[in-house]
């Protein structure tokens, strides 16, 4: 039968061992507690710390050094040969290069099957044609196949990303989707004769307060505005064409609003001349 005792301070009743823990937790506000030690663990903990400090001091008087970089190994790594995985890999790779050693098929098979728990399949070089039309080669490991030549193509063509984009478009307004379609996707350096790069050298690119805080920098402006294109149902490919772009201070771009600096007829003619100049 358990002996029940009451706390002298709060008068609550506990079993004998539970009473010690209750006092430690509630009244002594101790972060660590034990069953029945009644505070003695503090003394035990201090002795352990002193013992550890003495051992560390003794080790640091004659410390071990990393085999690769010769740096001092800390006390927590006293049983290691290297200070880091990087040093371990450097020595291993250097020894392999010096001896010409390469893992055999049996070694690779044994290691792979032990780590993965699956039957090992020798890697092979495979050629594949990406959906963008580029032929690329990759090392096929096991049953894993690559369909895309790069991450950008995977983002552009993979069904999961396409579905995510469709869901996002359905949750946005038509104007927001049109603005996204009309964003400039070309590289300025491909047309160095068409843009005034001195503005960028002088003011830098526009950056919001939370992304660099250059509020007086340069941004790319649509000569025929996006809002005009939306209101008149103009193909986004026309509004996002490089011929419809110019570099201006961002403050000027904002103050312009939805105004157009060129008629749509003038823009179409400019695009025609642009295509003749750069597509030939």
What average pLDDT does the chain have? 85
Mean pLDDT score, 29-56: 64
The residue written with tokens 């040093």 in the block is 87
pLDDT at 237: 93
| pTM of the shown model | 0.53
Residue 9 pLDDT > 80 = no
Mean pLDDT score, 62-84: 89
Distance CA 198, CA 173 (A): 37
pLDDT at 101: 77
Q: Can you say whether the dihedral through the CA atoms of 270, 272, 273, 278 is positive or negative?
A: positive
pLDDT tier at 2, thresholds 50, 70, 90: low
User: 249 by DSSP, 3-state: which?
Assistant: strand
Residue 38 pLDDT > 70 = no
pLDDT tier at 60, thresholds 50, 70, 90: confident
Q: What percent of the chain is helix, strand and coil (3-state, nearest 5)?
A: 50, 10, 40
pLDDT at 163: 93
Contacts of 240 (CB under 8 A, 6+ apart): 181, 182, 183, 184, 185
Where do the structural domains in the chain lie, given as residue ranges?
4-60, 66-99, 114-171, 173-279
């Amino acid at each position: 039968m358990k002996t029940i005792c009451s706390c002298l301070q709060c008068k609550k009743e506990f079993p004998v061992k539970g009473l010690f823990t209750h006092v430690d937790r509630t009244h002594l506000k101790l972060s660590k507690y034990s069953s029945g030690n009644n505070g003695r663990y503090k003394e035990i903990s201090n002795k352990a710390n002193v013992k550890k400090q003495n051992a560390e001091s003794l080790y640091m008087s004659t410390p071990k050094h990393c085999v690769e970089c010769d740096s001092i190994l800390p006390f927590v790594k006293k049983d290691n040969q290297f200070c880091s995985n990087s040093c371990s890999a450097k020595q291993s790779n250097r020894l392999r290069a010096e001896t010409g050693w390469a893992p055999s098929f049996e070694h690779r098979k044994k290691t792979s099957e032990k780590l993965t728990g699956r039957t090992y399949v020798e890697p092979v070089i495979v050629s594949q044609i990406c959906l963008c039309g580029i032929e690329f080669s990759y090392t096929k490991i096991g049953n894993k196949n690559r369909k895309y030549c790069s991450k950008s193509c995977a983002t552009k063509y993979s069904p999961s990303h396409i579905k995510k984009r469709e869901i996002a478009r359905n949750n946005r307004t038509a104007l927001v989707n049109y603005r996204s379609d009309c964003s400039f996707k070309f590289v300025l350096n491909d047309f160095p004769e068409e843009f005034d790069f001195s503005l960028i050298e002088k003011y830098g690119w526009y950056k919001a307060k939370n992304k660099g805080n250059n509020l007086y920098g340069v941004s790319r402006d649509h000569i025929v505005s996006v809002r005009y294109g939306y209101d008149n149902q103009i193909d986004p490919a026309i509004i996002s064409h490089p011929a419809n772009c110019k570099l201006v201070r961002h403050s000027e771009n904002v103050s312009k609003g939805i105004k157009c600096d060129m008629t749509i007829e003038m823009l179409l003619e400019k695009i025609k001349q642009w295509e003749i100049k750069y597509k030939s």
